[in-house]
Amino acid sequence: MKKGTEYFNPYVELMAYSPDFKEAAKSGWGCGYVVMSKYEPIARSFKAEMILNIDGYSYYPQLSGFDEEITFFEQKDGVVTIGFDTAHSWNNDSHNREYVKQKTMDLLNIVNSFTADDLAVLKYKLIKTFADKINNI
């Protein structure tokens, strides 16, 4: 089955920083991504939050239970990718490949446990928040 046209099981990808970047940035090992079908409930929740952008910032939505900052979102040809990086001032050598791998697996578990019911609750909260903002104009 062609990805993007049908449902497929989410999977992870890891990307290491180049040695030059890692040395210059004094950061962690690299990035972790979860790749999924656009039909995943959590992919749809990201799109809803980004469309409404309730908080007025252009940051990506963050996930409850995930302690890394989501710094990447892409939707292309029906495939959605979300991810995080370890290139922040608080990242260091302890944020090695194993750390990135574990955090990416944590992210995959959150993606896999987010249900259509969770999406319905989120949509209700987003609509209510948006309506409250409109009513306060």
Give tens-digit pLDDT for 78-87. Answer: 898 999 999 8
Assess if residue 119 is contained within a domain: yes
CA dist., res. 124 & res. 126, Å (int):
6
Q: Is residue 69 part of a domain?
A: yes
Residues 82/72, Cβ–Cβ less than 8 Å: yes
* 1 within domain boundaries: no
110 lies in which domain range?
A: 11-135
Nearest CA to 13 out of 94, 72, 92 is that of 72
Model confidence band, residue 128 (pLDDT cutoffs 50, 70, 90) = confident
Looking at the predicted structure, is the pLDDT value of residue 1 above 50?
no
- In a domain, residue 42? The reply is yes
Residue 88 lies in a domain: yes
pTM for the model: 0.78
Average pLDDT on 88-92 reads 86
Residue 84 belongs to a domain = yes
Mean pLDDT of 10-25: 88
Domains identified in the chain, total number: 1
Residue 66 maps to a domain: yes
Top-confidence residue, 44 or 2? 44
